[in-house]
Structure 1
């Protein structure tokens, strides 16, 4: 049974609604937001806005699926243990991780499959970070290609950081990365506003609907942007008053969705067909823009180690399985195996990043495949398994809608990548 990562920000209980709101926003917003203007260019500003809004609504609804499953399982445990209602409502038991739900629904296979999807999503996010950093540093230093940046500059740093085993020591870098993302978004918005004022007619020569096939692309990027899905249960468990979590979650998702739509629309209206897959690459070549890119890339390079933590934990739990060859040897062999596994994983992801042609296409692929499975398919499947037997016909129909839509969405994303161009 592979452990799931504990996030220091979420450890303990007693978070207020305001603190929980901030935690949700921090867990959701990432560098994917900087690829939204390109997604709007591909789909059209109106189609992109509708796609992002739809992705936000679907994400919120499927997060509720996880909470409903947890509540139902807690109710079943209460009935089995004969606990009173008061103890059931206020006891500390009944907390579940995403992997726990998978195991309760489908046994050990369910846990392994759920955690494999989580690892794939985390892997996609880390590779996207490397691609993002490589392209931005290369834009500042044209003599260095993105592949050279990743292999010669990033790889040694990330290998060294991978030996830091304390997640608490790495957690502040996530906050630094979020602050830098806000700085980069602010710089882009400032430039967008200036260009829109100069143009005078922001919607002239800008497509509202660029074509049917652009909509799934925009939705894939949007799903990729709603990170932190597997932290839903941990975020809810961290609140002092869990009954207030759902309205707080709604406020957070609604607010982030509005920001995403506004940022994507403004970016596309400002740059039109010249919009790059990472919108910071559209900024003018001056010292302030270069400084924003470098600071953002440094913060993301440090945050990469935080994102790698759950991958390392799951790999090492398999490597150190009881009765295994490494466990039997112990001592130096065990320590060497742990270090070598971390180096091998980081090096493999760096090599993959060198073959990713563009950030936007990769983000859309990850969002429309493994992220769609994690965000829509698995929650709907768990909800059907746990709540479905006692749910109404309408509720089960909604479950099947998300289940089938997620599968079709993931299939389309896979077909788009594998089909000949």
Structure 2
């Protein structure tokens, strides 16, 4: 690959890349559950810092190697650039999803099941001698529906990069920045000093600004790509053809 023909980094794609970067750390919401399950909770902050540094290094190195190898032809999912006959890659991804998916869905399952357990009808039929434990079958059904629903959403996503940036700019930004600082400020506000309150307000403000601008940038990028793809594909404009190829990669 020749980097002389590659485009330089500009400020326009940075919000899009920022949304994808936040999406990569969506598992940060698991920190409270992990801390609660640790035997020595006082060691959790150091462990968390080491893990974040290690994961960030792997992400940056992996992305750098991908662009070094494929340049502007790099797909949203780097495995799409690999030869199609590499079945080991597909098997490795399936194994990875098998072990990581239950961990990521566990907090959502806990919330749903806690609400179901407080349901009066389920409490009434939980230990029925005639029907057995109804609540157990209801919980299994909700878990199945959740997995099927998430699989359906994943299969309908056309452009993973655009979807990742949109989710990172909205849900992940709120979960990672806005909500934790808001809870900390609300619950411990009277006992916090001015500096701590200022930090919380700063994080909430930056998180909201990032969410709004990142979402706007991602939506505008998607709309612009659809407009470009709708134009005449036989145009002789080389710049337009190049942008069509880029937009095709966004929605594939």
* TM-score normalised according to structure 1 size: 0.45
- Conserved in 1, the CA contact under 8 Å of 2:165 and 2:218? no
1:334 to 135, 141, 146: 135
- Conserved in 1, the CA contact under 8 Å of 2:22 and 2:172? yes
Map 1:13-412 onto structure 2 (within 5 A). 199=1, 203-210=3-10, 212-236=11-35, 238=38, 240=40, 242=42, 244-286=43-85, 289-301=86-98, 303-323=100-120, 325-330=121-126, 331=128, 332=131, 333-412=134-213
Distance change (3 Å), C-alpha of 1:410 and 1:266: same
Deviation at 1:278, TM superposition (A): 0.5
Distance change (3 Å), C-alpha of 1:328 and 1:409: same
Distance change (3 Å), C-alpha of 1:271 and 1:393: same
Residue-by-residue CA offset, 1:121-143 (whole Å, 9 max, x unaligned): xxxxxxxxxxxxxxxxxxxxxxx
Aligned equivalents of 1:248, 1:308: Cα separation in 2: 23
Structure 1: unaligned runs, 5 residues or longer: 1-198
* TM-score normalised according to structure 2 size: 0.72
Distance change (3 Å), C-alpha of 1:395 and 1:207: farther
Deviation at 1:407, TM superposition (A): 1.1
Deviation at 1:391, TM superposition (A): 4.1
Partner of 1:252: helix, strand, or coil?
helix
Partner of 2:4: helix, strand, or coil?
coil
Deviation at 1:302, TM superposition (A): 5.2
How much is the aligned-residue C-alpha RMSD, in angstroms? 2.8
Aligned equivalents of 1:317, 1:235: Cα separation in 2: 19
Distance change (3 Å), C-alpha of 1:294 and 1:247: closer
Structure 2: unaligned runs, 5 residues or longer: 224-252
Aligned equivalents of 1:415, 1:355: Cα separation in 2: 22
Partner of 1:213: helix, strand, or coil?
coil
Aligned equivalents of 1:388, 1:307: Cα separation in 2: 31
Distance change (3 Å), C-alpha of 1:328 and 1:224: same
Residue-by-residue CA offset, 1:90-134 (whole Å, 9 max, x unaligned): xxxxxxxxxxxxxxxxxxxxxxxxxxxxxxxxxxxxxxxxxxxxx
Partner of 1:7: none
Paired residues, what number? 216
Deviation at 1:305, TM superposition (A): 3.6
Distance change (3 Å), C-alpha of 1:334 and 1:259: closer
Partner of 1:228: helix, strand, or coil?
helix
Partner of 1:357: helix, strand, or coil?
coil
- Conserved in 1, the CA contact under 8 Å of 2:30 and 2:107? no
Higher mean Cα deviation, 367-376 or 244-253? Answer: 244-253
Partner of 1:196: none
Deviation at 1:312, TM superposition (A): 2.7
Deviation at 1:376, TM superposition (A): 0.5
Partner of 2:143: helix, strand, or coil?
helix
Aligned equivalents of 1:326, 1:235: Cα separation in 2: 29
Aligned equivalents of 2:19, 2:193: Cα separation in 1: 30
